[in-house]
Amino acid sequence: MEYIRITSREMDGLRALHTAYKREIGEEAPTEEELIRLSEAIKEEQILFFGCVDGDRLIACCSVAPTFSTFNYQKGGVFEDFYIAPEYRHKGIARRLATFAYKESGVRSLTVGCADCDKQMYMALGFAVPLGNLLAYEG
């Protein structure tokens, strides 16, 4: 298995993982328009995607959206889009992918918003500093 930075060349694999992820959490699959916007954001490095490849198949992904964090007054990132194909879970891929994304993104801190049921998993991956609650505003 190989850990990579995902580019627009891997969009077919990323599309498959995103569709499976959305289905698993009960959301609609991304539309073609949304995937085009995602591909553009990847090209413009507004968001960085990382993945794990087994042979020629992308089997896991996560993203880091770069920010500047006043948590430590350095470059930070928001960790999202974390998904591992079910048949590859519980094999250590999650921890290696999170570590790879952290190192390769060049950030000094990562934050993650998660459901209560996922908190222990993220803590096991190293997200151990509580920063309160994360809420989203969409206007």
pLDDT of residue 71: 77
The pLDDT tens digits along the chain (139 residues) read 999 999 988 999 999 999 999 999 899 999 999 999 999 999 999 999 999 999 999 999 999 999 988 878 889 999 999 999 999 999 999 999 999 999 999 999 888 988 888 888 899 998 888 887 777 667 7
pLDDT of residue 137: 67
For the chain, the structural domain boundaries read: 2-124
Answer whether 83's CB lies under 8 Å from 17's CB.
Answer: yes
Q: Regarding the domain delimited by 2-124, which CATH topology (the fold level of the hierarchy) does it fall under?
A: Aminopeptidase (3.40.630)
Determine whether 74 is exposed, middle or buried from the number of CB atoms within 10 Å of its CB (0-12, 13-18, 19+): exposed
User: Which amino acid belongs to residue 6?
Assistant: I
pTM for the predicted model, two decimal places: 0.90
> Distance (Å, rounded) from C-alpha 34 to C-alpha 14?
13
pLDDT of residue 138: 75
pLDDT of residue 64: 96
